């Protein structure tokens, strides 16, 4: 993703504890959530729950491949591993190949389950060729490790694939792993190539066409997490999901303050007229540097995002 300028605007059981439920009930009785206009949601208490610890394991497994630069052997191997994980969790997988450059092979990986209106959860699984935002000029020709910028969003989606009760959502859930997102401003490349190709080629996507909602998850693992409303994202859908986060006790980290307007994988959906948002922490100081490593991440950050999305979806994805 990239900050927009004005020239280019574009494991085990459920862990929701009784204490949280009581706090939610007390807050609701005081009208705490009334300003958003959303009622209390049911907090599920059966079936596997989102595990932040397992999400961190998924980050570690991605990092073991090294930089996942589109078209490289490591990137291909990581994509094959991703497909195997999704199949192991019972998801059907669709591969959407494309060429971002004439001599580079890329592929979007889409997993789907369920029935009903479509909701897409998306993340990019490639990493940037160069760490060109690194404060040390000697590091700017090195690849980005991509613990947060790439691996964190993928880890959330993979853990959702393992734990989400899809039937309770009353939706078709599509997990979209976009390729070739992160090489803009590098000669021959551009940003968001995978998600752009995805939206431009609906006919090849079968069950995952014309989504009701699209939610992109990107750079959410920062230990110092700050999830602000991304101003190009649909405000009503943002409020609906942020309301769930508040009910779970995460309002300190999910805030409706306006963040930085961004070009990211939600952009092609918005431009095509669909309701889409970007859940992203763009305050991350290690963006596009060699310091984007796993020690900068916090397990609690994964818990907040994963639990919020799980509860939102399993309550039928209430929205604007």
In a domain, 137, yes or no: yes
Query: What pLDDT is recorded for position 304?
Result: 98
Task: Identify which of 184, 76, 179, 177 has the alpha carbon closest to the alpha carbon of residue 130.
Answer: 184
- Contact criterion met (CB below 8 Å) for 319 and 213: yes
pLDDT in tens, 172-185: 999 999 999 999 99
How many helices (H) and strands (E) the chain has is answered by 9, 10
Q: Which has the higher per-residue pLDDT, 90 or 28?
A: 90
Query: What pLDDT is recorded for position 38?
Result: 57
pLDDT exceeds 50 at position 15: no
Q: What are phi and psi of 237, to 5 degrees?
A: -70, -40
List of E strands, the chain: 2-3, 92-101, 104-114, 118-124, 172-178, 213-218, 227-229, 254-258, 262-263, 276-280
How far apart CA 157 and CA 206 sit, in angstroms, is: 20
In a domain, 18, yes or no: no
In a domain, 87, yes or no: yes
Query: What pLDDT is recorded for position 202?
Result: 84
pLDDT in tens, 34-75: 334 556 666 555 455 999 999 999 999 999 999 999 999 999
What residues form DSSP beta bridges with 225? Answer: none
pLDDT in tens, 121-147: 999 999 999 999 999 999 999 999 999
How far apart CA 221 and CA 227 sit, in angstroms, is: 10
Query: What pLDDT is recorded for position 21?
Result: 35
In a domain, 310, yes or no: yes
Domain enclosing residue 113, as ranges? 2-10+50-242+259-314
In a domain, 265, yes or no: yes
In a domain, 176, yes or no: yes
Task: Identify which of 56, 121, 61 has the alpha carbon closest to the alpha carbon of residue 91.
Answer: 121
pLDDT in tens, 213-265: 999 999 999 999 999 999 999 999 999 999 999 999 999 999 999 999 999 99
pTM of the predicted structure, to 2 decimals: 0.89
- In terms of Cβ atoms closer than 10 Å to its own Cβ (0-12, 13-18, 19+), residue 69 is buried
Query: What pLDDT is recorded for position 203?
Result: 83
Q: How many domains does the chain have?
A: 1
In a domain, 43, yes or no: no
Query: What pLDDT is recorded for position 19?
Result: 37
What's the CATH number where 90 sits?
3.40.630.10
Task: Identify which of 309, 317, 305 has the alpha carbon closest to the alpha carbon of residue 56.
Answer: 305
Q: Which has the higher per-residue pLDDT, 22 or 277?
A: 277
Pairing of the two strands 104-114 and 172-178: antiparallel
How far apart CA 221 and CA 280 sit, in angstroms, is: 9
Instruction: Locate 275 and state its tokens.
Output: 């309701």
In this structure, the number of other CB atoms found within 10 A of the CB of residue 205 comes to 21
Task: Identify which of 211, 223, 217 has the alpha carbon closest to the alpha carbon of residue 285.
Answer: 223
How far apart CA 317 and CA 114 sit, in angstroms, is: 14
Q: What are phi and psi of 316, to 5 degrees?
A: 85, 15
Taken as a whole, the chain contains a residue count of 320
C-alpha triplet 243, 259, 232: angle, nearest 5°: 80
In a domain, 309, yes or no: yes
Q: What are phi and psi of 218, to 5 degrees?
A: -145, 130
């Amino acid at each position: 993703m990239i900050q927009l300028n004005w020239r280019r605007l574009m494991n085990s059981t459920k862990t929701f504890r009784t204490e949280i439920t009581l706090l939610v009930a007390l807050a609701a009785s005081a009208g705490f959530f009334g300003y958003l206009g959303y009622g209390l949601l049911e907090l599920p208490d059966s079936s596997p729950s989102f595990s932040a610890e397992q999400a961190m394991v998924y980050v570690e497994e991605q990092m073991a491949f090294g930089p996942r630069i589109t078209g490289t052997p490591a990137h291909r191997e990581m994509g094959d591993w991703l497909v195997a994980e999704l199949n192991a969790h019972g998801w059907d997988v669709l591969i959407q190949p494309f060429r971002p450059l004439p001599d580079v092979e890329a592929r979007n990986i889409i997993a789907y389950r369920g029935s009903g209106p479509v909701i897409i959860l998306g993340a990019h699984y490639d990493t940037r060729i160069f760490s060109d935002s690194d404060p040390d000029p000697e590091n700017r020709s090195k690849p980005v490790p991509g613990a947060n910028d790439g691996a964190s969003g993928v880890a959330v989606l993979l853990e959702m694939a393992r734990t989400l009760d899809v039937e309770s959502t009353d939706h078709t859930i599509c997990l979209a792993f976009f390729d070739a997102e992160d090489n803009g401003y590098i000669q021959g490349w551009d940003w968001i190539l995978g998600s752009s190709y995805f939206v431009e080629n609906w006919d090849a996507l079968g069950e995952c066409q014309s989504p009701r909602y699209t939610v992109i998850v990107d750079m959410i693992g920062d230990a110092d997490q700050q999830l602000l409303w991304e101003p190009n994202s649909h405000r009503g859908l943002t409020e609906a999901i942020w309301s769930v986060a508040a009910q779970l006790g995460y309002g300190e980290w999910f805030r409706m303050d306006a963040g930085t307007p961004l070009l990211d994988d939600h952009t092609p959906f918005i431009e095509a007229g669909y309701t889409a948002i970007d859940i992203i922490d763009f305050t991350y100081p290690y963006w596009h540097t060699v310091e984007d490593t796993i020690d900068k991440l916090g397990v609690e950050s994964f818990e907040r995002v994963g639990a919020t999305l799980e509860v939102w979806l399993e309550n039928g994805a209430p929205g604007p």
